[in-house]
Structure 1
Amino acid sequence: MPGQLLFQPNPPPDPSQLPDSILDYRVQLKIKGQFRRAADYIAAAMIFLRSNTLVTRQITPDDIKPRLLGHWGTCPGLVLVYAHINRLIRKTGIDALYVVGPGHGAPAILSCLWLENSLSAFYPKYSRDKQGLHNLIAAFSAPGGFPSHVNAETPGSIHEGGELGYALGVSFGAVMDKPDLVCVCVIGDGEAETGPTATAWHGYKYIDPAESGAVLPIVHVNGFKISERTIYGTMDDKEMTALFTGYGYQVRFVEDLKNIDEDLAASMDWALERFTRSRRPRVAGTPSSSPAGPCSFYGWSGPKELHGEYMEGSFKAHQVPLPEAKTDAGERKMLQTWLESYGPRELFGEDGVPNEKILSVIPDVEEKKLGQRKEAFAAYTALNVPEWIQSGVKKGSEQSCMKVVGEFLHEVVKENPSTFRIFSPDELVSNKLDAVLRDSGRNFQWDVASRAKGGRVIEILSEHTCQAMLQGYTLTGRTGLFPSYEASWASEHNGFSHQNPSFIGAVLNLKPAAARQTTHPVWLSPEEADRHCIAGASVWKFASTEGGVNPDVVLVTFEVIAAAALLRQLAPALRVRVVNVTDLMVVGPTGSHPHALSDVGYASLFTQDKPGLLFGRPNLDRISIEGYREEGTTTSPFSMMLLNHTSRYHVAAEAIRGAAMSNPQVEIDAHELISYVLHLAEKAKDYAIEHGADPEGTFDAPKFD
């Protein structure tokens, strides 16, 4: 059922819900203010200072970094949220992760991590004292220090600062199968303009509160991106209400800047209480997520204006508010005033240690600290993987490899009911992996047939959301699978049928991979396949001439078996070695990957100088590569290979060309043979056009003597 959807005006905090009294509550929030001042000070200093990091004297040009990098505008808002997550942890004992969409605001996160002493847990040079603070500030965005965005080395991080639009999807993936985890996710209003974020708002519809935790989305509406207003920044409250009501959320605006701590505290308490209520008792279909939308000035607490132009509250605060501070005395004086306004002498002692009020904000249990959550760095749970060889099929038969994989994955799901999920862009059935749905179905809480069944499949058409959820799920210690449609060159679909994701290309560094969904000949027994996969690549002697010894050409591609059989008929003088590769990483240059073959191992498979259909090694002028070619059409499986020049005929033609360079017996008939096999390719294409199907027997297993 849909959630209960209203925008509410924010009332003053209800005294009956406060810890002791309004007065004590406000004292606590004032202490949170000291934490914020300290973190804001450190964040600003990180952008500018290389020395004099506590501003104990006048700032000189030598104190300022030669190259100013960083993004100030979003930092105060990120610090504000960090402080209030700490408040919730101390008040309720929750387990929390903090996912930061505006990841370029790294100074904010790093400053909070230093205050809670989490940096030193991983990097001793950033100890929580004067020297450690100097090391952090001076090295930021400099060689040997942290970069200007939240990166993988940032403690507590499961989301890279450059992944614009993916924070919310990552957060939903992180809480799956972790029922006690609350993921607080800040979405920048610039980031909120992206397609990945727009779709990820539906993520709560895949969260079963009985088995998974909660996401608390916080939209940081500060109005600007680099040099333009944001869409959210131009929307009034009614329009925002309509938008999020449609998404299925109940939302609070947090916009009382004079009482921002009270306002945000009440809203986060409200949101957390809704999550707790949704699990006690469990109410199927009730959203476990409620976004709170804080509104703050861009560059809040920084310089108000510069050279007659507004800074705070404008896009000019996005990066470095005082860009000429090193060379301009006026800007340098403004920097001095700005940093001193935080009161560093009050916040830090002579030894650089934060005062007791600041420390009292930080969780007193180490593993509860946001920078030391094991989900972010040491939570991997190994899969209980069934013995795959039991799923092996009979040598000499024909089977659908994808159906066999589907049956194997069904066993994986049974053995790992809370540590394995499949994130599929609506292609599970067409990829013939639907055996995984046999017992539990999908996990879609808005579908009465799927709700509360413990399904392991998240199926949503957005590849962006699938990849984001996969990232959040795996980086918090579990295992996920992403079935991709565009990874296949050999289906009957040619064209970017969905969103042309670069996911597979990025993972494999654009190395070609192929998979076919029709039935396949089974060339190896399970035991032989096991040895072959351990090696990653090996010579298939049964398909090679003379056992693959002294070849004229090496074939390493999809249709090689059929091509090898064709060459035996048409060019018996051509000596062929067939190599099958199961691990693409073995063919990379030596040392490029742990599985990469040594030069000796590579030469033993692919020879030193013979032509081949492979890639990535020395003497590339002898190598021919064929793969996906965008034709934007739907056709038959074999016609797809013809279009992509990966058919047995194209492989055979290329093999003849290569062999002709070294084998005179092949050279004498090369032109005639190449013309003939390409003629066969055209005949196969004509047949498919006329009959709407491939010639009968196209995919029958070739016969070898």
Structure 2
Amino acid sequence: MTVTAGGTYSAVASRSDGGELDRLDAWWRAANYLAVGQIYLLDNPLLTHPLRPEDIKPRLLGHWGTTPGLTFLWAHLNRVIKRRGIDTLFVTGPGHGGPAVVATAWLEGTYTERFPDVSRDAAGMARLFRQFSFPGGIPSHAAPETPGSIHEGGELGYSLAHAYGAALDNPGLLVACVIGDGEAETGPLAASWHANKFLNPVSDGTVLPILHLNGYKIANPTVLARIPERELLALLEGYGHEPFVVEIAVDEDHLAVHARMAAAMDRIMTSIAGIRARAARGELTERPRWPVLVLRSPKGWTGPAVVDGLPIEGTWRAHQVPLSRVREDPAHLAQLEEWMRSYRPQELFDAEGGPVPELRALAPLGERRMSASPHANGGELLEPLRLPDFRKHMVDVPEPGGATAEATRVLGGWVRDVIRANPSNFRLVGPDEVASNRLQDVFEVTDRQFEGELLATDEHQSPHGRVLEVLSEHLSEGWLEGYLLTGRHGLFTCYEAFIHIIDSMLNQHAKWIKVSRSIPWRRPIASLNYLLTSHVWRQDHNGFSHQDPGFIDHVVNKKSEIVRVYLPPDANTLLSVMDHCLRSRDQINVVVAGKQPAPQWLAPDAALAHASRGIGLWEWASNDAGTVPDVVLACCGDVPTLETLAAVSLLRRHLPELRVRVVNVVDLMRLQNAGEHPHGLSDREYDALFPPGTPVIFAFHGYPWLIHRLTYRRHNHEDLHVRGYKEEGTTTTPFDMLMLNDLDRFHLVADVIDRVPDLGVRYAALRQHMFDERMRCRAHTRRTGEDAPDVRDWVWTG
């Protein structure tokens, strides 16, 4: 066997005898036959009679183009697994290759184990075919219903990040990640090539990226398939990889192809084993150059070469369904039958329709089957976190407002202890903001993991850290998703405005969880937890580009059983909320908290009770004394809470007879009805806090219409007036930001005067005074560059 510069194979593998190659080819043919059957057939799975129109599905859905390359790779990885006894996870970047991974799971027996009615016989094969992309059946992607999958791939770009997340803290695991050449054009995938700079060759597993170049996406050529070979190899080498290339021509002898592929895989696995052995002995003096496999195969390989006079195999026309009019066109029907019979199914399946013994023997055993890997069903491996007592980190608050603290800095001390107590199954990830977000106490017990060059001026960088920071929200999110899906725990911290970058990734993860919860064999996984800080109300120094609280709106679009949103008003409540989030399963938890010094409102016991309720009447700030109040001042978020209490203080001074009730919301979903969200309040509970007919002035952290959306069915919705962010921002002072959006204390007092009956006429002078105060504060900021001392240094006095 020889390898050219750059790793292109041209010789037959000496270790693979003809019998092994024949068996590999038979397994591959069987998988391809099953894949074609899924796309086309309603019945007649073994072609026991000539195909008839009624054997064909009325709607042909699915993607053939990438499928034969995926089945080819699966076959050769099985060979490696059996020879070397390696635990392997298969990540399918081209998610439209669903027919391939469903076919291989059925061949290996895993599909029948998970779905006994899809048996390994003719009847089960018929069910397998019928259900694919069929009403009441399964999707065309590598979805949660697909054994062995952690990655649907319906939206491209995330496969490699997921693969590296799966490999973290899994030193015995090989993650084979197939990257479609269309996917390789996406931004998230481009950033993910740098993940090899973070993988520790001793304590983490191995990722084998497989760049599957078949030349086309839906209707266009792909970039990496059309650049010169030297440029492609230089790119991959520049990313830090050693490339190995296997190139396949349309009409090439299949045994020769299998021989070259087997040789390439042997060389790759020898390289990986050598790297890991040298790392274990401490002999690596620089970051290893991990292998990357480039497989150039024809799009739609082994499918129809020409249809209706147009070339198909090896072109973009093979992307989806090569023969599109099989029911109505006898020529297409005949061509489909010829195509399926070309795989010689009579050699592959026995009289009952099951794989012949020779094929069954080619699959690894038990959990070594990639379709049965417990890493692809992470809940099977999940161990609860050992969570230290967060109450030991709580701030002493002798009276409301009687202490000052930075909420996320307090949380950082507890997260430090979480990392110490869970040294191999918890990760803190984020885009270069752990210290900026005041969680730097974690560096007392760990470092940032990094395999690149380190300088004497670097701090808290090593190959062994538990913190992963890279300036790509996509890569950070992908790492954490892969880590969670394979049975571990973590926390993503980010500036609030820029978490939007992963909106679509959250969509896909939420959909995965939603479907997984309905599949009995999918075990619950740890929740995806976000800590959003450096938030809209304290990004006054960075300006308008950093001011956006809309991620909350995006999250609440997801299924109610999946999403939770928390806005704790102080450090003690934040600790309780985060402890709850890290204990939860199969959810997406978004926690928004400030990092700046701020008044602390609740003593430890009160914070525990308040966090547990999720919403509560603050009697210490209210003066309605159990009667129906004249007005309810509600607040959600740390800065809106402070402004609400400052407004209450002004009302007590100027309108002491006014009965004011203060309601604070921690769990945003408590505002919904109990029939709409599991955390929702019943109408009776809601009405007890917000009596019908009573004006409610609601100070909210985010966009005000979200509160209206959550409460539009409530009895007193017409009495609800919400203040929040209304897309006004700039580089200014914190209080000026509030005034720009009419969320300041003076405007809240004016809102009370406007909305409580009879106050508007009697207290017009007070209302005017409130706006005079706003003018005074704005003039002060324009003159001095800082907020007026009476606003900046305000304290609650009861």
Q: Answer yes or no: is the 8 Å Cα contact 1:554–1:606 preserved in 2.
A: no
Question: Shift of the alpha carbon at 1:426?
Answer: 1.1
Question: Shift of the alpha carbon at 1:290?
Answer: 1.9
Separation (CA, whole Å) in 2 of partners of 1:267 and 1:453: 29
**Counterpart in the other structure of 1:372:** 372
SS of 2:151's equivalent in the other structure is: coil
1:649 aligns with 2:746: yes
Separation (CA, whole Å) in 2 of partners of 1:73 and 1:465: 28
**Counterpart in the other structure of 1:200:** 192
Question: How many pairs align?
Answer: 688
**Counterpart in the other structure of 1:101:** 93
**Counterpart in the other structure of 2:33:** 41
The alpha-carbon distance between structure 1 residues 489 and 201, as it changes in their structure 2 partners (threshold 3 A), is same
1:546 aligns with 2:624: yes
Q: Answer yes or no: is the 8 Å Cα contact 1:99–1:186 preserved in 2.
A: yes
Question: Shift of the alpha carbon at 1:384?
Answer: 0.6
Q: Answer yes or no: is the 8 Å Cα contact 1:101–1:186 preserved in 2.
A: yes
* Range moving further from structure 2, 155-164 or 686-695: 686-695
Question: Shift of the alpha carbon at 1:489?
Answer: 1.8
Mapping of residues 663-682 of structure 1, within 5 Å: 663-664=757-758, 666-669=759-762, 673-682=766-775
Separation (CA, whole Å) in 2 of partners of 1:461 and 1:441: 17
The alpha-carbon distance between structure 1 residues 639 and 267, as it changes in their structure 2 partners (threshold 3 A), is farther
Paired residue for 1:80, among 53, 72, 75? 72
Q: Answer yes or no: is the 8 Å Cα contact 2:536–2:546 preserved in 1.
A: no
Question: Shift of the alpha carbon at 1:682?
Answer: 4.1
SS of 1:538's equivalent in the other structure is: strand
The alpha-carbon distance between structure 1 residues 9 and 85, as it changes in their structure 2 partners (threshold 3 A), is closer
The alpha-carbon distance between structure 1 residues 300 and 656, as it changes in their structure 2 partners (threshold 3 A), is farther
**Counterpart in the other structure of 1:343:** 344
Separation (CA, whole Å) in 2 of partners of 1:656 and 1:72: 67
1:634 aligns with 2:731: yes
**Counterpart in the other structure of 2:684:** 600
SS of 1:105's equivalent in the other structure is: helix
1:696 aligns with 2:702: no
1:436 aligns with 2:439: no
**Counterpart in the other structure of 2:703:** none
Question: Shift of the alpha carbon at 1:656?
Answer: 3.7
Mapping of residues 558-577 of structure 1, within 5 Å: 558=640, 559-577=643-661
Separation (CA, whole Å) in 2 of partners of 1:317 and 1:241: 27
Q: Answer yes or no: is the 8 Å Cα contact 2:632–2:663 preserved in 1.
A: no
Amino acid at match of 2:604: P
Separation (CA, whole Å) in 2 of partners of 1:370 and 1:502: 40
**Counterpart in the other structure of 2:267:** 270
1:401 aligns with 2:407: yes
Separation (CA, whole Å) in 1 of partners of 2:257 and 2:82: 19
TM-score calculated relative to the size of structure 2: 0.82
Mapping of residues 155-554 of structure 1, within 5 Å: 155-257=147-249, 258=252, 259-282=256-279, 283=284, 285-287=286-288, 289-364=290-365, 366-377=366-377, 378-395=380-397, 396-448=402-454, 452=462, 454-486=464-496, 487=532, 488-492=535-539, 493-497=542-546, 506-509=554-557, 513=567, 514-547=592-625, 549-551=627-629, 552-554=631-633
- State the structure with bigger RCO (CA 8 A, min sep 6), 1 or 2: 1
The alpha-carbon distance between structure 1 residues 314 and 676, as it changes in their structure 2 partners (threshold 3 A), is farther
Amino acid at match of 1:383: L
SS of 1:83's equivalent in the other structure is: helix
Question: Shift of the alpha carbon at 1:292?
Answer: 0.4
Q: Answer yes or no: is the 8 Å Cα contact 1:205–1:285 preserved in 2.
A: no
Q: Answer yes or no: is the 8 Å Cα contact 2:13–2:262 preserved in 1.
A: no
Paired residue for 1:91, among 83, 94, 97? 83
Separation (CA, whole Å) in 2 of partners of 1:354 and 1:678: 81
**Counterpart in the other structure of 2:513:** none
The alpha-carbon distance between structure 1 residues 317 and 530, as it changes in their structure 2 partners (threshold 3 A), is same
Q: Deviations over 1:126-165 (max 9, x none)?
A: 1212111111100111122111112122212111222310
Q: Answer yes or no: is the 8 Å Cα contact 2:212–2:296 preserved in 1.
A: yes
Amino acid at match of 1:555: A
Q: Answer yes or no: is the 8 Å Cα contact 2:216–2:315 preserved in 1.
A: yes
Separation (CA, whole Å) in 2 of partners of 1:226 and 1:361: 34
Determine what percentage of the aligned residue pairs are the same residue.
Answer: 38
* Range moving further from structure 2, 565-574 or 232-241: 565-574
The alpha-carbon distance between structure 1 residues 160 and 627, as it changes in their structure 2 partners (threshold 3 A), is farther
Question: Shift of the alpha carbon at 1:210?
Answer: 1.5
SS of 1:490's equivalent in the other structure is: helix
TM-score calculated relative to the size of structure 1: 0.92
Separation (CA, whole Å) in 1 of partners of 2:334 and 2:340: 10
SS of 2:175's equivalent in the other structure is: strand
Q: Deviations over 1:384-406 (max 9, x none)?
A: 11101110111121111111011
The alpha-carbon distance between structure 1 residues 391 and 548, as it changes in their structure 2 partners (threshold 3 A), is farther
Q: Deviations over 1:159-197 (max 9, x none)?
A: 122231010001101110111111100011111001100
SS of 2:661's equivalent in the other structure is: strand
Question: Shift of the alpha carbon at 1:609?
Answer: 4.4
Q: Answer yes or no: is the 8 Å Cα contact 1:494–1:631 preserved in 2.
A: no
Q: Deviations over 1:327-380 (max 9, x none)?
A: 22221121111111111222111211011221121112x111112211222221
Q: Deviations over 1:614-659 (max 9, x none)?
A: 44122444434444444563333333333344333343344444x4
Question: Shift of the alpha carbon at 1:284?
Answer: 5.7
Separation (CA, whole Å) in 1 of partners of 2:440 and 2:275: 31
**Counterpart in the other structure of 2:589:** none
Separation (CA, whole Å) in 2 of partners of 1:241 and 1:66: 44
Mapping of residues 136-155 of structure 1, within 5 Å: 136-155=128-147
The alpha-carbon distance between structure 1 residues 90 and 703, as it changes in their structure 2 partners (threshold 3 A), is same
Amino acid at match of 2:331: G
**Counterpart in the other structure of 1:61:** 53
Gaps of 5+ in 2: 497-531, 559-564, 568-591, 699-706
Separation (CA, whole Å) in 2 of partners of 1:224 and 1:621: 56
